[in-house]
A and B are shown apart, each in its own frame.
Chain A
Amino acid sequence: MTPAARDSVQPPRSGFWGWIDSRLGLSALRYPVPPHANTLWYTLGGITFIGLLALVATGFWMTQYYNPDPASARASVIYLQNTAALGDVIRGIHVWMAYLVVITASLHLIRIVVTAAYKRPREINWLFGLGLLVLLLFGSVFTGTVLRWDQESYEAMAHNMELVALFGSLGGFFTKAFSPSVTMLPRLYTVHVSIVPLILLVFILVHVLLIKFHGISPTTAQADAGEAPGGQLPKEKLTGHYPTHLRLMVGYGLVLLAVAGILGVLFPRGIGPVPNPAIEVTKPSFVFYWMYAFEDWFGVPGILYSAAGLFGLLALLPFLDRTPLRGLRSRPVVLAIGTLLLLAIIGLSISVALSPTATHLQ
Chain B
Amino acid sequence: MTQTIRLAALLTALTLSALSAQPAGAASAAIHDPSTEGSPSGRLAPGQAGSEVAPRERSGGQKIGMVALFGTLAGLGVLLAATPRGILREDDDPT
- A contacts, CB < 8 Å to B: 7-8, 10, 13, 17, 30, 32, 67, 70-76, 78-79, 81-83, 85-89, 149-151, 154, 185, 238-244, 247-248, 250-255, 257-259, 261-262, 265-266, 268-279, 281
Encode contact with A along B9-51: 1 for CB under 8 Å, 0 otherwise. 0000000100110110011011111101111101110111111
For A273, give the chain B residue with the smallest CB separation.
B50
B31 engages A75 (CB within 8 Å): yes
Given A251-B80, A265-B66, check contact A71 B94 (CB 8 Å).
no
B80 engages A265 (CB within 8 Å): no
A272 engages B38 (CB within 8 Å): no
- B contacts, CB < 8 Å to A: 16, 19-20, 22-23, 26-27, 29-34, 36-40, 42-44, 46-56, 58, 63, 66-67, 69-71, 73-74, 76-83, 85, 88, 90-95
B22 engages A270 (CB within 8 Å): no
Residues of A contacting B49 in the complex (Cβ-Cβ under 8 angstroms) = 151, 273, 276, 279, 281
Residues of A contacting B71 in the complex (Cβ-Cβ under 8 angstroms) = 258, 262
For A82, give the chain B residue with the smallest CB separation.
B56
- Output the least CB separation between B74 and chain A (Å): 4
- Output the least CB separation between B56 and chain A (Å): 4
- Output the least CB separation between A7 and chain B (Å): 8
For A256, give the chain B residue with the smallest CB separation.
B77
For A244, give the chain B residue with the smallest CB separation.
B85
- Output the least CB separation between A176 and chain B (Å): 14
For A260, give the chain B residue with the smallest CB separation.
B70
Given A242-B95, A251-B80, A258-B74, check contact A70 B63 (CB 8 Å).
no
A268 to B52, CA, bound (A): 13
Number of A-B contacts (CB under 8 A): 175
Residues of A contacting B42 in the complex (Cβ-Cβ under 8 angstroms) = 277
Given contacts A154-B40, A253-B77, 15 further A-B contacts (CB under 8 A): A10-B91, A71-B37, A83-B26, A151-B49, A238-B95, A255-B73, A258-B74, A270-B53, A270-B54, A273-B49, A273-B52, A274-B38, A276-B50, A279-B48, A281-B49
Residues of B contacting A274 in the complex (Cβ-Cβ under 8 angstroms) = 37-38, 40, 43-44, 50
**A-B complex: 7 closest residue pairs judged by Cβ atoms:** A251-B81, A254-B77, A273-B50, A258-B74, A251-B80, A70-B39, A75-B37
For A240, give the chain B residue with the smallest CB separation.
B94
Residues of A contacting B38 in the complex (Cβ-Cβ under 8 angstroms) = 70-72, 74-75, 274
Q: What are 24 of the A-B contact pairs (CB < 8 Å)?
A: A30-B95, A71-B38, A72-B32, A82-B55, A82-B56, A83-B56, A86-B16, A89-B19, A247-B80, A250-B80, A251-B81, A251-B82, A254-B80, A257-B73, A265-B63, A265-B66, A265-B67, A266-B63, A270-B54, A270-B55, A272-B52, A272-B53, A273-B49, A276-B48
A257 to B26, CA, bound (A): 29
Residues of B contacting A243 in the complex (Cβ-Cβ under 8 angstroms) = 85, 88, 90-91
For A70, give the chain B residue with the smallest CB separation.
B39
For B35, give the chain A residue with the smallest CB separation.
A71
For A75, give the chain B residue with the smallest CB separation.
B37
Residues of B contacting A76 in the complex (Cβ-Cβ under 8 angstroms) = 31
Residues of B contacting A87 in the complex (Cβ-Cβ under 8 angstroms) = 56
Residues of A contacting B40 in the complex (Cβ-Cβ under 8 angstroms) = 154, 274-277
B77 engages A88 (CB within 8 Å): no
B55 engages A268 (CB within 8 Å): yes
A4 to B90, CA, bound (A): 24
A269 engages B37 (CB within 8 Å): no
Given A276-B48, A278-B47, check contact A88 B74 (CB 8 Å).
no
B77 engages A251 (CB within 8 Å): yes
A259 to B27, CA, bound (A): 31
A34 to B67, CA, bound (A): 37
A150 to B16, CA, bound (A): 29
A248 to B83, CA, bound (A): 9
A17 to B92, CA, bound (A): 13
A276 engages B44 (CB within 8 Å): yes
For B82, give the chain A residue with the smallest CB separation.
A251
Residues of B contacting A238 in the complex (Cβ-Cβ under 8 angstroms) = 95
B74 engages A259 (CB within 8 Å): yes
A251 to B82, CA, bound (A): 8
